[in-house]
Amino acid sequence: MNPIEGLKGYVREIRELEAAAALAHWDQRTYMPPRGLEARAQVVGRLKRLAFERLVSPKLDQLLKEAEAGLDAGSELDRALVRHWRREHDRKRAIPPDLYQKFVETCSRAEAVWEQAKAKSDFAMFAPHLGEVVELVRKLAELLGYEEHPYDALLEEYEPGMRASRLKEVIEPLRAELVPLVQRLEEGSPPPARPAGPFPVPAQRALARKALELIGYDFSAGRLDDSVHPFTVGLGPGDVRVTNRYSEDDPFPGLFAALHEGGHALYDQGVPRELAWTGLDSGASFGVHESQSRLWENQIGRSLPFWQFFHHCLVEHLPAFRGTGPEEVWRMVCEVRPSPVRVEADEVTYNLHIALRFELELALIEGRLSVERLPERWNQAMESYLGIIPPDDARGVLQDVHWSGGMFGYFPSYMLGNLYAAQLMAAAEHAIPDLWDKVASGDMRPLLAWLREEVHAHGRIYPPEELMKRATGEGLTPRPFLDYLKRKYDWLFR
Ligand code: ZN
Ligand code: ZN
């Protein structure tokens, strides 16, 4: 057999096992009865383990070697396939199984303690566990290897090719321009008052469905269900699912979460069939995936043209908005207000939350900062970036689950998503001169077609930096994002 075909057949098994685990996990988070948890956790764990064993097996190494030997004659897709699996195999193999097991166990304990510590707002209770996690993560970084900085070894998992030094170059100008912008916007006039709730959940669900249809989400290849935390999961070609949650007091979190998850789902639905089960059938990176969700959530969903069209849908489903106009609603959803909590942050303050986490992660990984001093440093940074001090650690250093789960290097993906989204949108505006007229008339097809061609069609073939260069002419840069915010908020507060 042709070595590439041999490799494809083998990795397909890995991907199918992962899909089965993902389906079992989707069910766990949507419809599974509560008492099914223990058995389900075992099933998901078993499937993931089977996939992992295949990933690190000598058999895959052998298949990769055979494929690598004949690669000169291969297509771009073949080269990407081999590069992807070589990297995955080598990274996971670099960690001794005992150490990996210890890491998984330490994190799952830390996560359980974190939940209690957050509920009691008691950092001291969490600190020793976080200390263990940080020590293990530092060890893993050494084993995974890096050229410049141990943090790079962690970033590689989420954003192939990204470096801490590159992130610093991007974060500096962001911080320098965002901090005064936030201060200036706080002095502006407040947004219009919102109609009073409650906003019935069934009506919000229908509105979310409407929003997903509008942006081009294919319901014949997907579903919308309820869950505690919204998420998107791809289960194979023809099956990319979205979940959402709704709050009776405020209809906007549910609507924007639907647009956000819808953006992720459009990406996965847009990956070509020929990439199915190859491992190249998902986003180029976490950051690029996040760019697709942010683009629909913020660049589109928080634009005036979107509301010029969508306002009638809002009123139709939630009649409490009858007395409002499109521009008023647009102003409501563009409110800027520093909050101590990242997940409540608006599009102006959001990246400052990430800048803070990046700085602290770097200091922890370098060993410059002890876990004990973390709350103090957190609060200092919050005050200097956003002018607020969290009322307690639950809404401060304890707010996110990521660190307890050992996910160091993940937070920058959120920021990269915001920056990439602005870069892509600027390029799309250039390529489609009547883009905003189309949006205002409810026609998202030209934009989606452009994203399909420039981003979705390539799946994971190109590393993020190369994908961005091909689509926008430039690698990562904060400029379009800063220009976008200034243009928008100068106009909003003119
Ligand atoms: Zn997302
Ligand atoms: Zn309508």
CA of 144 to the centre of ligand 1 (A): 26
CA of 260 to the centre of ligand 1 (A): 6
Picking from 130, 52, 174, 128, the residue whose alpha carbon sits closest to that of residue 485 is 174
Phi/psi for 250 (5° steps) reads -145, 120
Question: What distance in Å separates the CA atoms of residue 142 and residue 153, rounded to the nearest whole number?
Answer: 8
State how far Cα 102 lies from the chain centre: 27
Question: Ligand 2 being an ion, which residues bring their Cβ within 5 A of it?
Answer: 313
- Scored b (16 or more CB within 10 A) or e, 143-173 reads ebebeebbbbbbbbbbbbebbbebbeebbee
CB neighbour class for 139 (10 Å; exposed up to 12, middle 13-18, buried from 19): middle
Ligand nearest to the backbone CA of 213: 2
DSSP H/E element including 233: strand 232-234
The β-bridge relationship of strands 224-226 and 232-234 is: unpaired
Structure-block tokens of residue 41: 């956790």
| Dihedral angle computed from the Cα positions of residues 28, 30, 32 and 34, in that order, rounded to the nearest 10 degrees | 90
Q: Is the pLDDT of residue 494 over 70?
A: no
Q: What is the mean pLDDT of residues 97-118?
A: 90
The one-letter amino acid at 94? A
Question: What distance in Å separates the CA atoms of residue 185 and residue 200, rounded to the nearest whole number?
Answer: 32
CA of 200 to the centre of ligand 2 (A): 17
Query: Looking at residue 155, what is its pLDDT?
Result: 97
Q: Is the pLDDT of residue 188 over 90?
A: no
Query: Looking at residue 215, what is its pLDDT?
Result: 98
Q: How far apart are the first and last CA of the chain?
A: 67
CA of 386 to the centre of ligand 2 (A): 38
Question: What distance in Å separates the CA atoms of residue 391 and residue 384, rounded to the nearest whole number?
Answer: 15
Query: Looking at residue 37, what is its pLDDT?
Result: 86
CA of 201 to the centre of ligand 2 (A): 17
74 band by pLDDT with thresholds 50, 70 and 90: confident
Q: Is the pLDDT of residue 492 over 90?
A: no
pLDDT in tens, 430-449: 999 999 999 999 999 999 99
User: Using an 8 Å Cβ cutoff, are 254 and 227 in contact?
Assistant: no
Instruction: Calculate Rg over the CA atoms of the chain.
Output: 23
Cis? peptide before 198, omega within 30° of 0: yes
CA of 445 to the centre of ligand 1 (A): 22
Residue count (the chain): 494
261 noted as active-site residue? yes
Residue 293: how many CB atoms within 10 A of its CB? Answer: 23
Ligand nearest to the backbone CA of 210: 2
CA-angle at 439, arms to 211 and 323, nearest 5°: 65
The one-letter amino acid at 20? A
Q: 190 or 223, which is more confident?
A: 223
Query: Looking at residue 108, what is its pLDDT?
Result: 87
For residue 226, list its beta bridge partners.
Answer: 244
Ligand nearest to the backbone CA of 297: 1
Ligand nearest to the backbone CA of 418: 1
pLDDT in tens, 214-234: 999 999 999 999 998 899 999
Catalytic annotation, pick one of 261, 290, 347, 465 = 261
CA of 92 to the centre of ligand 2 (A): 49
CA of 310 to the centre of ligand 2 (A): 7
User: Using an 8 Å Cβ cutoff, are 421 and 298 in contact?
Assistant: yes
Ligand nearest to the backbone CA of 207: 2
Picking from 178, 490, 216, the residue whose alpha carbon sits closest to that of residue 334 is 490
